[in-house]
Amino acid sequence: MNRRRERVVVVGAGLAGSLAALYLARQGHEVDIFERRPDPRSALAGPEGRSINLGLSARGMRALDGVGLLADVLKHSVPMRDRVVHSPDGGVRAQPYGVREHEILHSVLREELISLVVSAAEAEPGVRFHFDSLLTSLDRETGTVRVAPTAGGEASTVTADLVVGADGVFSTVRQQMQHGLRANYAQDFLPWGYKELTIPVGTDGQPRVRLEALHVWPGHEALMVAHPNRDGSLTCTLFMAHEGPVSFAALDTPAAVRDFFRRRFPDAEELMPDLVREITEHPVGHLVTVRTAPWRYADRVVLIGDAAHAVYPFYGQGMNSAFEDCVVLDECLTAHPDRAAALAAYEAARKPHTDVLADLSTANFEDLRDRVHRLGYSASAAADRLLARLLPQRWVPLYAMVAHTTIPYADALARANRQDRILRRAGAGLTLAVGLAATAAALRVGRRRRAARR
């Protein structure tokens, strides 16, 4: 490699920051990565008994594969071959995720995934992790960051050629980088929140429901999904309004909890022996979309992951798109020796697509809430899958493009819209043909009647 070895600071050692550190070290740079939380591999980091799972799909897999981590991660995951939709009447219907064998998702525990990525990055020459270290300021002109130990003690400064902001949805790097600029910024909180619950492994040691699937309980006022774990348990995420008649706030007694589940998710309630305790003890999470610009400043600062584009979790693309950022940033830094140009190319290549992802994630919330359990929705999804089977090269459902390919999000949406137009025209054509046939038949009948009268 001919490039100068540069000093990079990554702020945030979450999934995006840790993977970016690994990619940047592979480019030959010195990388210091600062994280205000403890080392995720230490006992201290445990999320108080909560386990969060993520659905790894094609974009995330490609990013992990690019640094040789995919095989290891897949060993720690459970395949999800289809979406199993549960109705309030107890009915269960499986919808395959793809039309081909490899078109599946992989459920992985966040803490296991992050441990794998951190360990791989730490093993890379030039990468140094600094946990329990809080960014207190950033000088965007010089690339100087000031970092203080969270336990107290003296702050230190580091000056870098490039600062990567991977510090999440309320990013300090973003705030300091955009300060006083004409920056566009929008945050949208969903009136709904979420809570994590558990379907433990059965008393017989077997999973209580089919394991290799994503389970979905759609609903207009509350909905739930469940991801499988390797130990045979599943982690459920219950989504509903923070406040109001049907809300987390209203689940304020054991009777209210039991009654709520019996009416809305009767089959799930039987699978969740710890339900009342978990509802009482687990915190309610917030759901927020963030769109912003710029993502970069000169040749010094750049944002990735939630710091640049936070989305609702309903398309399962938050982590996958953050990982994809690492790949695109790596490609742009390779393609453009001038770093300001590389960062500009990265933002231009990425932002239109993450904006579309934000829209898709909101639309998928509305689908899960209002449409998944309707007959029309599943007929249309089935038509989509049928066409994909008949024309595998030419017809790819939107969900499949998002989850099973690396076609950029906006391009995927444009192609899906073209496909929709074809279907609509075919529908109109069919209607017209039926109408003409009926008219022709009516005319024939008329002629025959007239002939009969003669």
Q: How many CB atoms lie within 10 A of CB 150?
A: 14
Interacting span for its own copies (CB under 8 A) from 2-10, 57-65, 159-167, 179-187 = 179-187
Q: Around 326, how many Cα atoms within 13 Å sit in the side-chain half-sphere?
A: 30
Which residue number, 191 or 446, has a Cβ lying nearer to its own copies? 191
SS3 30: strand
The interface mask with its own copies, positions 267-296, x = CB under 8 A, is -------------------x-x--------
Q: Which residue(s) pair with 164 in the sheet?
A: 10, 302
Name the amino acid, one letter, at 7.
R
CB-count burial class (<10 Å; 0-12, 13-18, 19+) for 334: exposed
Which residue number, 1 or 186, has a Cβ lying nearer to its own copies? 186
Residue 179 found at the interface with its own copies (CB under 8 A): no
Q: How far apart are CA 234 and CA 213, in angstroms?
A: 10
CA 442 to chain centre: 55
Interacting span for its own copies (CB under 8 A) from 37-45, 187-195, 221-229, 320-328 = 187-195
Give me the least distance between CB of 286 and its own copies, in Å please.
Answer: 6
Interacting span for its own copies (CB under 8 A) from 86-94, 178-186, 317-325, 384-392 = 178-186
Residue 187 found at the interface with its own copies (CB under 8 A): yes
Residue 183 found at the interface with its own copies (CB under 8 A): yes
Give me the least distance between CB of 194 and its own copies, in Å please.
Answer: 13
Sign of dihedral through CA atoms 52, 56, 61, 63? negative
Residue 241 found at the interface with its own copies (CB under 8 A): no
Give me the least distance between CB of 127 and its own copies, in Å please.
Answer: 34
Give me the least distance between CB of 14 and its own copies, in Å please.
Answer: 21
Give me the least distance between CB of 295 and its own copies, in Å please.
Answer: 15
Give me the least distance between CB of 174 and its own copies, in Å please.
Answer: 13
Are 36 and 132 in contact, with CB atoms under 8 Å apart? yes
Q: How far apart are CA 243 and CA 254, in angstroms?
A: 18
Q: Are strands 30-34 and 184-189 parallel, antiparallel or unpaired?
A: unpaired
Q: Which residues contact 29 (CB under 8 A, 6 or more apart)?
A: 5, 6, 7, 8, 126, 162
Give me the least distance between CB of 357 and its own copies, in Å please.
Answer: 18
Residue 451 found at the interface with its own copies (CB under 8 A): no
Q: Dihedral (C-alpha) 370, 207, 211, 192: value to the nearest 10 degrees? A: 30
Residue 186 found at the interface with its own copies (CB under 8 A): yes
Among 42, 159, 184, 253, binds its own copies (CB under 8 A): 184
Q: How many CB atoms lie within 10 A of CB 311?
A: 26
Give me the least distance between CB of 185 and its own copies, in Å please.
Answer: 5
Interacting span for its own copies (CB under 8 A) from 34-42, 45-53, 182-190, 446-454 = 182-190
Query: How many chain residues touch its own copies (CB under 8 A)?
Result: 12
- Residues interacting with its own copies, by CB under 8 A? 182-189, 191, 242, 286, 288
